[in-house]
Amino acid sequence: MKDSSGGVIRSRAETDARTGVRAGLTLRQIEVIRAVMIAGTIAGAARLMNIAQPGVSRTMKHIEGSLGIKLFVKKAGRHVPTDEARDIFAQLQEVHRKVDDLQYSIGRLERGLGVELAIGSVPSIATVMAPEAVAKLMRVCPDIKVNFDILKIEEAIDYLLLGKGEVVAMSYKLSHPSITFEPLSKGHLVCIAAKEHPLAGRSMVSAREIAEYPLIGIDPRDPYGAIMAGIFEREGLLAAPTFRC
């Protein structure tokens, strides 16, 4: 066909045929074709897919125009596959089956079925916080299998980098270029004293007040110990623990 200026106008199907290019089908279009195959009518396909009938009609016209072939002919009020489209339908059925298999596999992963997760935790949070997090995970993914390892702080990096586990719950942040850290929660240090101690019953005590008494503390080389030591250092106090744990 020629336009008024002497140029040639071709349909998209003609252009695709000349260039060897075929328009691809989307999964949605495959669903529409299959629904028409099963229902035998446009109205029936619309009911199967729970969409409006004009939407199915427009989609079918677009598909046939893009492919350049007629997929259905009407016989006795029903849409019957054309001879040239039968091979396409067989392949569409195979695609649909594979999509169903994929959705089934994804569903298994979402439930945690067949998935094994190795989780590590440092001792200080391995008795309460980490188990609570694992319990929440297993409520979401009831079929998941979890291996729970208690690690020393210095073991955490190797645990991840050597592929021994996927996640480690830490009590403080390490700096490493190959490891991603995500904050999960925040807490605060508390002062524990015997009932008869002068500081007992106080809602708040200062570092200077604590420093006046013998102190059970944590080794400053430990992350918690470093935090506690920093509290006294900022006040210019030398409060070395009498007993370290």
Per-residue pLDDT tens over the stretch 84-106: 777 777 777 777 777 776 765 56
Question: Which letter, b or e, does each residue of 202-223 get, where b requires 16 or more Cβ atoms within 10 Å of its Cβ?
Answer: eeeeebeebeeeebebbebebb
Number of domains in the chain: 3
Last residue of a domain, one of 58, 75, 109: 109
Residues 105 and 120 in one domain: no
Say whether pLDDT at 10 is over 70.
no
pLDDT at 15: 39
> Helix (H, G, I), strand (E, B), or coil: what is residue 124?
helix
Residue 208 lies in a domain: yes
Q: Is residue 1 assigned to a domain?
A: no
Is the domain of 36 the same as that of 92? yes
**Tokens 């850290």, located at residue:** 181
CA distances, 242 to each of 197, 199, 211, 230, 245 (Å): 16, 17, 11, 17, 10
SS3 93: helix
> 202 and 144, same structural domain?
no
Helices (H), the chain: 12-19, 27-39, 42-49, 53-67, 86-111, 129-140, 156-161, 207-210, 223-234
Q: Which of 91, 109, 127 represents a domain boundary (last residue)?
A: 109
Rounded Cα distance, 245 and 241, in Å? 9
| Overall pTM > 0.75 | no
Domain assignment present for 49: yes
Work out the average pLDDT over 13-29.
55
Residues 42, 70 within the same domain: yes
Q: Write out pLDDT tens, residues 183-212.
A: 877 777 788 889 999 999 888 898 888 888
Has residue 19 got a pLDDT over 50? no
Expressed as residue numbers, the domain containing 102 is 12-109
Strand bridging mode 216-217 / 243-244: parallel
Q: What share of the chain has pLDDT > 70, as a percent? A: 82
Give me the chain's average pLDDT, please: 78
- The mean pLDDT value for 28-54 works out to 86
Answer yes or no: do 23 and 80 share one domain. Answer: yes
Do residue 34 and residue 96 come from a single domain? yes
The answer on 103 and 18 residing in a single domain is yes
At residue 115, the pLDDT reads 67
Residue 4 has pLDDT above 70, yes or no: no
* Same-domain pairing of 16 and 105: yes
Residues 156 and 216 in one domain: no
